[in-house]
Structures are given as structure tokens and as C-alpha cells.
Structure 1
Amino acid sequence: MRRLLTALLGTALLATPALSKSRLAPEAELADAIKGRVAGEPVGCINLSNVRSVRIINRTAIIYDAGRVLYVNRPRGGAESLDQWDTLVTRLHTNQLCRPEVVRLYDSASRFETGVVFLGDFIPYRRIR
């Protein structure tokens, strides 16, 4: 039972939208999120077991926080559907999230689907040492 509760809590943590600085324009909000970090070479997949939280930047990008590394994904299609209050749902058969995946967006309150995005490359951002 404890494992089930831990799993549910972890899932809820990943699905809860982070409070954003909604006063900023989306590109400025993204720049603020990666401030003090340097972009690395794009990767096609990330390991979801390393992801601590997920943040949506309205109409712009998805940030996957893997602790020391932030992976920024600017979807190849459907980015205009991204909303910070939506929940991301992906059907995976492995613990990796990869470039061609389709992510469905659901309104957190109504639970209606609000759109889909087609993931692009994941750009890793690491802190400047």
C-alpha cells in the first residue's frame, strides 16, 4: 500500500503544473528558467526515471527537470496548444521519452483534451561552473 501511495504521489507531482511567472512573455519565461545554464548538444531521448518535474511554458516549450540538467523540448508541432495548467499524457512502453512521441494535453480542471504536441529534440541545459 505504501508503494502505491508513493507512486501516486510521484505521478501527481509530475502532473502538477509549476507556478510560473505568468507576467512574463513565454520566451522571457523560458530564458529566466534556463538563466545561468549552458545548452548542450541536442539529444533524441531522455530517461524519465531521472525527471523530477515537468513545467510547461505557454505556447513555447516543455521543461523536464532532471536535477542537474534541464531538458527543454520545443515541440515540432502543436506548441500553440501548450498551456501551463494542462496535464501532459504520454503512452510509453519504455522509461524513455523520445523525439517522435506524441503528447496529449488535458485541461486539469475539466479533464478534456485540449491538444497534442509532437516532441522535437531535447536540449540539455547545465549550470555554468
Structure 2
Amino acid sequence: MKKDIDFSPVKDVHVVIGKGDEGWKVFLINRNHAKLENVMVTSRGYGETKMEKQKTSTLRHMIPYIDSGEYALIEPIDESVFHLNNEYWVSYFINGQVYDKKFIFVPDSIVEENLTFIEELQMSGILHD
């Protein structure tokens, strides 16, 4: 059944981890010309520290829609998980077509040196394609 679903490639949708006055937050940006509908984001962290496996709880977020050129807050993120793989699995519909992609921030990639200015958010962040 899953083989029968056409998963078109995700374009112009980005996960951003931004740093503002209130700490670090995760956003989803829609740079498509179409509205994203029924957006589901699953987030989790996983990895190893000192030869010991670690993982966070899996969180699920539902966003009814994100208009073209807009963004949505997914969740705040704590610096204590930056040493893990931070995975955001994003699924959404455009005109009835399902789109699906995993965005993974690898360990220690969420650092001040990697921050760039994100126009939509008017803040510094790390943009994942």
C-alpha cells in the first residue's frame, strides 16, 4: 500500500532552529507558492554519549495549515539535547498530494557559529533544507 503512494520531493519547506531573546525554538517555514495543509511534525532526539545510548521522548505536532511565505512554531528546544541527532519528520498536503521528509540536525551542529539571519523570522537561526 505504501508503495502505491506518490511521495513527491519536498521543495521550499525548511526546518529552522532559531535563537531569540527567549531561547532556542524550532520553526517550519513554507517558501512554496501553495499553502501547506494538515502539517504533521514528529520530533525526537537520539544518539550516544560516552558509549551510552540516549534518546528523548517523541513529540507530535499538528498544524492545520501554513500559508505561502509564512512560518509556524513547532516547539522550543533545550540546549541540553544539542549533542544528539535532532530529527524532525515533516508530512503535509498540497492540493491533495502528500509530501514527506526527515530533517536531521546532526550532533553539535546547533551552535552559534552556524547561525545566519532568517528573513521570515527576523532572527538568527540554522536553516535545514
Shorter-chain TM-score tier: under 0.3
In the superposition, the TM-score normalised over structure 1's length comes to: 0.28
Of structures 1 and 2, the larger Rg is shown by: 2
In the superposition, the TM-score normalised over structure 2's length comes to: 0.28
Structure with more helix by fraction: 1
Structure with more strand by fraction: 2
